Amino acid sequence: MTILVTGGAGFIGGNFVLDWVGCSDEVVINLDKLTYAGNLESLASLDGNPQHIFVQGDIADAELVRHLLAEHQPRAVINFAAESHVDRSIHGPEEFIQTNIVGTFRLLEEVRSYWKALPDQARADFRFLHVSTDEVYGSLATDAPAFTEEHRYEPNSPYSASKAASDHLVRSYHHTYGLPVLTTNCSNNYGPYHFPEKLIPLLIVNALAGKQLPVYGDGQQIRDWLYVKDHCSAIRRVLEAGKLGEVYNVGGWNEKPNLDIVHHVCALLDELQPKADASSYRDLITFVTDRPGHDRRYAIDARKLERELGWKPAETFESGIRKTVQWYLDNQQWVNNVQSGDYRNWVTQNYGERSA
Ligand code: NAD
Ligand code: TYD
């Protein structure tokens, strides 16, 4: 059996592929365009492993997707591929429209043709799982209950608007064509292999380099944090037992103001990698201009997933963030290669002959 994962060289997709190979004997076809966010060095431990087949390419390339589906006959497609950084979407939204909307549409079209032509049993068993975000629901008032699956879509950034559009397309392919889809909407992830321009890895990397720790606005914006491996286990569970056409919110009930996250990371670094002069990394905290249109609060109500599919996160925020900080301390070469840009040569050095 085979699954096709898109965006599997990114942060969450990469963790998902590593975990999948660790807990299943199914082959993973990994289709990834290798944008700035794609890093095959994160998958270096799979080098030479026949269970992982990497293909460099775009989900919007209909011909390539058609060819991959026909050749590998996957029983499921899991769509992680996306432009994912809110700040980048503010500076240049076009790529977000292209990948998140047009790309998802082209992928859906090819998957629909492939699925329709499958023999009866394979058609009944097939799944298209779309990985999405809590940001599609917009910003919550301080005292409002957490987002349930019924919460109105109210995306506020070009990123979340493009993800919302892709969620709607996925939904429509179920209602109109009967495509067996599942959608997950997850809160902010953190953990190993996170590109160091997102908050938590940026804090660790900047602190270790003695650089400023930029806090947008007053630092009181709230995000709901989930360790990436717990997101991956939720996706596996939804793939295995989710009801067709349904949406599952994924979260770990870990709402925290950004400034608390910054203090927590600094305290862990003070403990695990104390500065020579015994001063605290907190001294590097710098308040900077706020992000335009900055959502104030996200919070996920994950009770449906817990109740109906029996999923629970394995990590608390305290255990997950400790593992994450330790991972960055133990993997400084990975960080150095991201910062120097050397990670982009990984494909030619190590995977060139296996790319499409
Ligand atoms: P990421 O930016 O780290 O990785 C995205 C991957 O997709 C990269 O490897 C990139 O090369 C690839 N990609 C981009 N455009 C592509 C295209 N056109 N064709 C093929 N591959 C392409 O993102 P991530 O944080 O791993 O997020 C993965 C998914 O999870 C996204 O859909 C995102 O919206 C969603 N999500 C992320 C979070 C989070 O906190 N990071 C939370 C909830 C949901
Ligand atoms: P980010 O990691 O970009 O995720 P998202 O915008 O998808 O939630 O940012 C998390 C929060 O941290 C968000 O409220 C913006 C804030 N932030 C900072 O305060 N400073 C930073 O340097 C970054 C990157 C983010």
pLDDT digits (tens, 9 = 90+) for 262-298: 999 999 999 999 999 999 999 999 999 999 999 999 9
Residues 54 and 351 sit within 8 Å (Cβ to Cβ): yes
Task: Catalogue the active-site residues.
Answer: 134-135, 159
**pTM for the structure as a whole:** 0.97
Q: How far apart are the first and last CA of the chain?
A: 21
Ligand 1 pocket test: pick from 12, 160, 193 the residue with the most ligand atoms within 8 Å of its Cβ.
12
- Write the CB contacts of 25 (distance below 8 Å, at least 6 apart in sequence): 51
Closest-approaching ligand to the CA atom of 62: 1
Contact 285, 266 (CB under 8 A): yes
Give a three-class secondary structure readout of the chain. Answer: CEEEEECCCCHHHHHHHHHHHHHCCCEEEEEECCCCCCCHHHHHHHCCCCCEEEEECCCCCHHHHHHHHHHHCCCEEEECCCCCCHHHHHHCCHHHHHHHHHHHHHHHHHHHHHHHCCCHHHHHHCEEEEEEEHHHHCCCCCCCCCECCCCCCCCCCHHHHHHHHHHHHHHHHHHHHCCCEEEEEECEEECCCCCCCCHHHHHHHHHHCCCCEEEECCCCCEEEEEEHHHHHHHHHHHHHHCCCCCEEEECCCCEEEHHHHHHHHHHHHHHHCCCCCCCCHHHHEEEECCCCCCCCECCECCHHHHHHHCCCCCCCHHHHHHHHHHHHHHCHHHHHHHHHCHHHHHHHHHHHHHCC
Per-residue pLDDT tens digits for 111-125 = 999 999 999 999 999
pLDDT in tens, 136-175: 999 999 999 999 999 999 999 999 999 999 999 999 999 9
Structure-token pair, residue 98: 């292209």
Could you report the per-residue pLDDT of 211-246, keeping only the tens digit for each?
999 999 999 999 999 999 999 999 999 999 999 999
Distance CA 95, CA 35 (A): 11
User: Which residues lie below 8 Å from residue 277, measured CB to CB, with a gap of 6+?
Assistant: none
Residue 351 has pLDDT above 70, yes or no: no
How much is the average pLDDT of 182-210?
A: 98
Q: Using the predicted structure, report yes or no on whether residue 354 has a pLDDT greater than 80.
A: no
Ligand 2 centre distance from Cα of residue 219 (Å): 10
Q: Report whether residue 215 contacts ligand 2, using a CB cutoff of 6 Å.
A: yes
In 3D space, the residue among 287, 288, 281 whose CA is nearest the CA of residue 210 turns out to be 281
Q: Which ligand 1 atom is at minimum distance from the Cα of 103?
A: 18
CA of 168 to the centre of ligand 1 (A): 18
> Looking at this protein, which amino acid is placed at residue 353?
E
Structure tokens at 192: 């190993």
The Cα–Cα gap between 181 and 12 comes to 20
**Atom 10 (ligand 2) nearest CA:** 199
Does CATH number 3.40.50.720 belong to domain 2-351? yes
Residues whose beta carbon lies within 6 Å of some atom of ligand 1: 6-7, 9-13, 31-35, 37-38, 58-60, 80-84, 99, 103, 131-133, 163, 186, 188-189, 195
Identify the band that residue 344 occupies on the pLDDT scale cut at 50, 70 and 90: confident
Domain ranges of the chain: 2-351
Amino acid at 340: S
Does ligand 2 have an atom closer than 6 angstroms to the CB of 133? no
